[in-house]
Structure 1
Amino acid sequence: MRVAILAEQNFNLIDGSTIWLLNVCKLLALQPDLTIDLVLTHRLDNRVLAQELPDTIRVYSADVLLETAGIADAQLRPETVVDVMRAWEAQTGPYDRIFVRGADYLTRLLNTPELRDRIVAYAPSAIPDLGAPEPEWVRLARATRTRVVVQSDTAKHAMEALLDYPAYVVHVVPPIVFQPDTAPQAWEGPATLCYSGKIDLHYGLDWLIDLCEEVAEDPQLNVQWIAGKDTHRPRYRPFFKVMDSFRARLADGALPGISLLSNIPHAEAKDLMRQASLAYCLRHDRYDDVIEISTKIVEFCTLGVPPILNDNALNRALFGDDYPYLVDIAQDEIAPKVLGFLRNTDSADYARAQERIAEIARQFSAESLSDSLSHAIRGYLANAPVLTDTPRKIMIATHERKFLRQFLDRVRGDSNVEITWETWKSTIKPLNRPHVPDDVDTVLCEWCCQNAVWHSNNKRPGTRLIVRLHRFEAFREFPALVQWDNVDALIVVSDWFRDRAIERYGIAPERVHVMPQYIDWHGLQRPKLPEARFTLGLVGINPFEHKRFDRAIDFFKALRQRDSRFQLAVRSSMPWEIQWVWDRQDDTRAKFEETFQRIFTDPDLASSIRFDPAGQDMEEWYRGIGVILSSSDSEGCHTSVIEGLASGCLPVVHDWPGARSLFDPHVYADMAKAIPAVIAFADDPETGQTRETLASSVACHDVENFAQNFMKL
């Protein structure tokens, strides 16, 4: 697989973001099936970082690419990136993936049809500014389900909840660092504090300069600066005036014990960093709400040097509340606090800090993250079974794609699978005249509607025809009109539907395959929140006669009468938001109004039921749910119950047709009989183990298994 890495960073400079770029290249070079080109956005003048790249990485300076496109410039800019990539690929061949960092570059590339499906985005700053317009690249990427790499689980959850981004295509890859070849060695001599990074006022360097004044008077202490570029010099002239004076005093030898080196190779910088006793990683409070994990902090951990950090939520989450080198910059006097740390490196606190950073180093090692990043690039895990050894061109005929999205995300990552579309305007009307091109080997009719009728009556010799039947159309007129002898495989969602299809339509049993709607099982493996213990969840209440919202309320009311600790969270669009539900010419509206009236006139129900709007972030929502309900009169396989189980929820399922074949022993003709089990589950001290067992019971429904089984058909 050919991969281009294109980042807005200037690879001539040495700072955290260019070290990130260097390490991304090193990490992907560990994958033997990836051929990596580093496509630079600036002309390469300084090879300090470039010389550390693996030999397998090909580096292309911006001026080389620009020349290919006939553009006279020293920098590959967002406004020229599309033309340059088109010209470059015309000369060297198309890339399978283009890994891009930089919002403006992403916007241009995602706006280009022939490029957008090959883009993988890197988003280090995932928390959006809710007071500003949504970034254009996010809107474009969400529409095409572009895979995105973020640095932390917090960033992933922000993408899901605040940007409505599909969880399945957001991949967490923390800062990438490479372990040193040898174990860290204890530093002998004066205790040394090390700062490594760019010269930026907001990296606490004003405090560090003050600290150096005191260190210079203590022969038992040293400070080592490993300085990168000056940042925002015109904006912060007073600070840089102090910085220049500080440099001059160093040059004159006026500050003993203080040293400063600039623009040195990264490998040499790491050798110096590992000789320190402590790392100076304090920043001004403008960085306290950042959710990016600093590469430099992780790097110090891998080198065995405990960092001194701001006492904020991100650092506490990573290092623990009891990490001894957290500094409250709003209350603590910085210099005395840091000097105290530096003068006590033989303490129990120091030993505890070294144990903690060793744990962190193991979490962030390149070896443990290599597959994570390559998974995002490929679209599937490196060790995933091959979907097909034979190239397949599959045409999908459908009026609605919503139940195919994660499957399409998976097969889009496989070079042997090509998907084309035949779009239907409705269940009965195609957008254009149906037609199967000669190069298509398989037709999938998603939904057994008029699309399946037409293709079963017009099957082209040499093609395979697969039909997927959902509950929606199972009891309508379409299945009876299908020429089932021409259908190679029928996919149904439960044993009950399989038996009905064989019985009603005389389909050969060996052609009917039970494949419930898949889930992202791995993505649902998230720790439960404390409130989940006493929270029931109900997903979807529309339409009324199908979902039976009233039955769920009956059950919840009976539960509350037995135990008032429980709450109900309803995740759904409201019926008045859906025209075909609210404006039906029957008693649907009256039944909804009656149920809502019952809730809001009953103080007990009104205070214990909340309504959560529909959204993409279901994986995160299930963290707060302990019991998942299915109160329906009819379902196909009720995917929300399978998702709830995967997240560790106890299911309570009404006995709708087919439910027992999927969810026994959690199915009840009278849901009230589940109340003792719900209370016992909440009070069980071994609930964690029970949740793991429940989740494991539906691991077979993961999207990877569905993709494998579908390709076998």
Structure 2
Amino acid sequence: MTHPTVRRALVYGDVDLNLIDGSAIWAQSMVRALREAGCEVTLVLKAPIRTGRLVDPLLALDRVTVRRPHAEGLVEGEAGMTVAQAHRVLAAIDAERPHDLVVVRGRALAASLAGDGAFQGRMWSYLTDVPQLLDGLDNAVLGELGRIARASRVLLCQTEELRCHLEQAVPAACGKCVLFPPVVVLPPELEGRAATAPNGPLRLVYTGKFALRWNTYEMTGLPGRLASRGVDAELHMVGDKIHDERSDPGYADRMRRALEAGPGVVWHGGHPREKAMAIAADAHVGLSWRRPEMDASLELSTKVLEFGALGLPVVLNRNPMHETLLGADYPLFARTENDVVDVLARVARDASAYALAAERCREAAARFTLARAADRLRDRLAKVFPAPVGDPARPTRVVVAGHDLKFFTRLLEHLEALPDVEVIVDKWRGLAEHDEVRSRNLAAWADVVICEWCGPNALWYAENKRPDQRLYVRLHRFELTSGWPRKLDIDKVDQVICVSPHYASLTRADTGWPAEKVTVIPNWVDVDQLDRPKLPDARFHLGFIGAAPSRKRLDLALDVVEELRRRDPRFTLFVKTKMPWEYWWIWKRAEERAHYEKLFARLAASGPLRDGVVFDPYGRDVASWLRRVGWVLSTSDDESFHLAPAEGMASGAIPLLLPWPGVGTIYDARWIHPDPTAMADAVEMTVKTGRWGEERELARRQLRETYALDVVADAWTRLVRG
């Protein structure tokens, strides 16, 4: 019998494992990484095996099963499976013995599975074939991606750029996107190789498919171009997949002739991955130079990383992703064919430039090992499948009741994932509207009731609870002035949970409830989602999230950035918000309208502000948005907790807070400033003295220790388990 902690993973990629390219290598790497993370893995093949170059190494692994639908008679013919066939086969294999997670690569297949309720919530979708420009994201594509996101438990993204792109386009993807970069696995005999500077002919190498946009035909001319510069060179090409290019019908024939008879070109044909790597390891420089239209790609070439792991420097295009990977001063960036010849001629003669490029590539590749990939998956599996503490055979029954659960979503997901806890949501239609028959049935069923908001839901459950039940009520800011807490029979409540010590104190004072009945569990912050690399110049960018109603005091944030821009025009304020007129309950009030009319008139009249404030639309893509932000402001008149600066801290931004009531019970005093001028002074001095990096790391560490989702979720877990 399978040990309960061993998860069963079903893997299918819409890729042909007879051909060596990045997508096929993904399938092999995903299987190995899941296995290393502790899973039993079943890989389903799309096409009949004609060569075992990629599959044979997997057959030798324990806890790995390779299913061959064609050989097993599940599919007729010899062609690779269509989407409909793959869906049918996966459903049949899963029905034999259901899997805990279904990892699927390919948008069309993921969309098909998303419509099948049997796979709902178990899909770990790996999406690369997503339109990478906004004009390709039409309503049909967005609808398809939204369905995939809603059906998926996890969306695996190869790069940070792709993750942000998905989140900005598809709101349902927010909170589900997890990085799973390419994986580099070297044969043991090739590990730890040092770069060998050219001594004799400069040996260039390319491995993979031969295609128009990959500049593989142009590569075959490099030995001749270099010879004219006095550099003796040879080009080694490994692979057997030559694309038929619709836009250039003669390309395939031209490419084949160049491979077979190009001066200085050695074509090795197709080989198992290990042999291809061995050929590459004997070269001096790897080639991954592509046409300019590929610069916008949101994918990272596995070949670049493999070359780096082998000790080879790589010629590749300069783009933001590659600059982040290798540094802006990397010496082998190239755009045109002339650039390629120039940089190759340089490293053929300049040992120091060659050594720098080789070391950068090796350092980059070290971040993409199988061990690191397995760690990422192991961590994600632990979050999705937490270990039981109680008896799963008789789980603790929990009802979560409320009209609006937006502040409880991730805690709800965590409780639902606990194998020894069973959760049912009693979703109220409004503050006081609910299906009373359903609520009575749930009250009779539950061991524990959690009321989100101290409103009519809490009053109803307090009146209808059993003596042996536990009732927890989470009180937010607005209920204190509503009158409901005074009507609550506190003797029927086990604990009232507030999000900050200040509001717990106010609650005790306002209600007279016993101190031991009121406790604090803070708001949660999803650090894993928010902690992302900052974009260039983030230290000059201030962020403000949610500018309505007027008590949020955007006007004071304008004071800060206006003062900073007088000193340095690089400072900019980014405001992510709904506009006040989008809230009917705000805009109907004359004093609110007057406040914002004055504020926008000021924006129009002030030179520093007119060019220094950017409004971004409200949305769930806060993690992506925060990549450009180095400071997050909280200038409110009052807050119960204020999540924005906490989210900023998790992202690696520094909080800037004014002394609103209770702020010192939530945030460290070092981030609290007496007025906007003091805020501006702190920002300027921190940037000017080079301490921004140090300060933001301190802020991030403080946040992780106090408000990280796993810390807060553990507190709720202990409460529920009693």
Cα distance in 1 for partners of 2:567, 2:350 equals 58
Shift of 1:707: 0.8
Partner of 1:245: 257
2:473 aligns to what? Answer: 467
Q: Which residue of 2 aligns with 1:595?
A: 599
Shift of 1:388: 4.0
Question: Is 1:428 aligned with 2:432?
Answer: yes
Contact 1:123/1:150 (CA < 8 Å) preserved in 2?
Answer: yes
Once the two structures are TM-superposed, the CA of residue 528 in structure 1 deviates from its matched residue by 5.0
Deviations 1:398-448 (A, max 9, x none): 211221233345456554454432111111111564131766443221222
Structure 1 residue 484 displacement after superposition: 2.5
Match of 2:715 in 1: 709
Q: How many residues align?
A: 696
Residue 294 of structure 1: CA displacement? 0.7
Q: What is the rounded CA distance, in whole Å, between the counterparts of 2:331 and 2:657 in structure 1?
A: 49
| Residues 206-215 or 658-667, more deviating | 206-215
Letter in 1 for 2:580: P
Say whether residues 1:203 and 2:209 are aligned partners: no
Cα deviation, residue 690, structure 1: 2.5
Alignment partner of 2:501 out of 457, 472, 495:
495
Offset at 1:298? Answer: 0.9
Q: How does the TM-score come out when normalised to structure 1?
A: 0.86
Give a deviation string over 1:366-397, Cα, whole Å, max 9, x none.
Answer: 212321234445545x9xx8574444443321
1:526-549 alpha-carbon deviations (Å, 9 max, x no partner): 4555655454433222233x4344
Partner of 1:314: 321
Whole-Å separation in 2 of the counterparts to 1:61 and 1:170: 30
Could you give the per-residue CA deviations for residues 13-43 of structure 1, whole angstroms, max 9, x where no partner exists?
Answer: 22221011111111111122x1111123334
The answer to whether structure 1 residue 621 and structure 2 residue 621 are counterparts is no
Equivalent AA in structure 2 for residue 351 of structure 1: A
Letter in 2 for 1:13: L
Supply the distance in 1 between the matched residues of 2:101 and 2:400 (Cα, whole angstroms).
24
Contact 2:309 2:362 (8 Å CA) reproduced: yes
Q: 1: CA distance between counterparts of 2:317 and 2:679?
A: 49
Higher mean C-alpha displacement, 602-611 vs 315-324: 602-611
Q: What is the aligned counterpart of 1:87 among 86, 89, 92?
A: 92
Change (3 A) 1:534 1:280: closer
Q: Which amino acid aligns with 2:289?
A: L
Task: State the match for 1:122 in structure 2.
Answer: 126
Give deviations 1:478-530, integer Å, cap 9, x for gaps: 22233322323322111122223334445443443312211123444445556
The one-character-per-residue Cα deviations of 1:623-646 (angstroms, maximum 9, x if unpaired) are: 444543333333211111222344
1:547–1:632 contact (8 Å) kept in structure 2: yes
Counterparts of 2:577 and 2:350 in 1: how far apart (Å)? 58
Aligned to 2:4: none
Structure 1 position 279 matched with structure 2 position 286:
yes
Correspondence 1:206-221 to 2 at 5 A: 206-211=217-222, 221=233
**Alignment deviations for residues 154-185 of structure 1 (CA, whole Å, 9 cap, x no partner):** 22233334444655432222210113424326
**Structure 2 match to 1:49:** 54
Query: For the structure 1 residues 594 and 142, does the alpha-carbon distance in structure 2 shift closer, same or farther, using more than 3 Å as the test?
Result: farther
* Matches for 1:675-694 after TM superposition, within 5 Å: 676-694=681-699
Question: How is 1:283-682 mapped onto 2 (pairs within 5 angstroms)?
Answer: 283-329=290-336, 331-332=338-339, 336-337=341-342, 340=345, 344=348, 347-376=351-380, 379=383, 386=387, 388-391=389-392, 392=395, 393-411=397-415, 414-431=418-435, 433-434=438-439, 435-436=441-442, 440-460=446-466, 462-526=468-532, 531-544=537-550, 546-550=551-555, 552=557, 567-584=572-589, 587-603=591-607, 605-663=609-667, 665=669, 666-667=671-672, 676-682=681-687
1:184 aligns with 2:193: yes
Q: Residues 114 and 152 of structure 2 are in contact (CA less than 8 Å); yes or no, is this contact kept in structure 1?
A: no
Give, in whole Å, the separation in 2 of the partners of 1:62 and 1:341.
Answer: 51
Matched, 1:37 2:42: yes
Looking at structure 2, the residues matched to 338 and 534 of structure 1 have their Cα atoms a distance apart, in angstroms, of 34
Question: Does the 8 Å CA contact 1:654/1:668 hold for their aligned counterparts?
Answer: yes
Which deviates more, 213-222 or 510-519? 213-222
Instruction: Specify whether residues 78 and 421 from structure 1 end up closer, same or farther in structure 2 by C-alpha distance, changes over 3 A only.
Output: farther
TM superposition shift of 1:709: 0.8
- Is the 1:199–1:230 contact (alpha carbons within 8 Å) kept by the matching residues of 2? yes
- Structure 1 contact 150–156 (Cα < 8 Å) conserved: yes
Q: How does 1:216-235 map to 2 (within 5 A)?
A: 221-232=233-244
- Separation in structure 2 between the aligned mates of residue 424 and residue 389 of structure 1, nearest angstrom: 30
Shift in Å, 1:222: 3.9
- Residues of 2 paired with 1:530 and 1:207: CA distance? 33
Q: Give, in whole Å, the separation in 2 of the partners of 1:535 and 1:386.
A: 41
Aligned equivalent of 1:110: 114
Provide the residue aligned with 1:695 in structure 2. Answer: 700
After TM superposition, where is structure 1 displaced by more than 6 Å over at least 4 residues in a row?
Answer: 70-73, 213-220, 554-565
CA contact 1:490–1:511 (8 Å) conserved in 2: yes
Change (3 A) 1:387 1:155: farther
Q: Is the 8 A contact 2:26 2:182 kept in 1?
A: yes
Unaligned runs of 5+ in 1: none
Aligned residue for 2:135, secondary structure, equals coil
Which of 144, 150, 157 is matched with 2:164 structurally?
A: 157
The amino acid across from 1:197 in the alignment is G
Deviates more, 1:50-59 or 1:135-144: 135-144
Q: Pick which of 624-633 and 702-711 moved more.
A: 624-633
- Matched-pair contact (CA < 8 Å) for 1:62–1:74: no
Distance 1:662 1:107, change over 3 A: same
Q: Which residue of 2 aligns with 1:99?
A: 103
Contact 1:16 1:295 in 2 (8 A): yes
Task: Give unmatched runs, 5+ long, in structure 2.
Answer: 1-6
Deviation at 1:59, TM superposition (A): 1.2
What is the CA RMSD across the aligned residues, in angstroms?
3.6
Between 213-222 and 102-111, report the one with greater CA deviation: 213-222
Give the stretch that moved more between structures: 165-174 or 14-23. Answer: 165-174
Contact 2:259 2:266 in 1 (8 A): no
SS of 1:430's equivalent? Answer: coil
Q: CA deviation at 1:290?
A: 1.4
Q: Of 157, 170, 174, which residue of structure 1 is paired with 2:177?
A: 170
2:271 pairs, out of 259, 264, 272, with 264
Distance 1:374 1:639, change over 3 A: same
Equivalent position of 2:204 in the other structure: 193
Letter in 1 for 2:456: Q
Q: Describe the SS at the equivalent of 1:422.
A: strand
Quick one: percent identity of the two aligned structures? 29
- Greater shift after overlay, 313-322 or 570-579? 313-322
Distance 1:600 1:514 in 2: 44
Q: Residue 455 and residue 42 in structure 1: after superposition, are their counterparts in 2 closer, same or farther (change >3 A)?
A: farther
Cα distance in 2 for residues equivalent to 1:297 and 1:648: 28
CA positional deviation for 1:701:
0.4
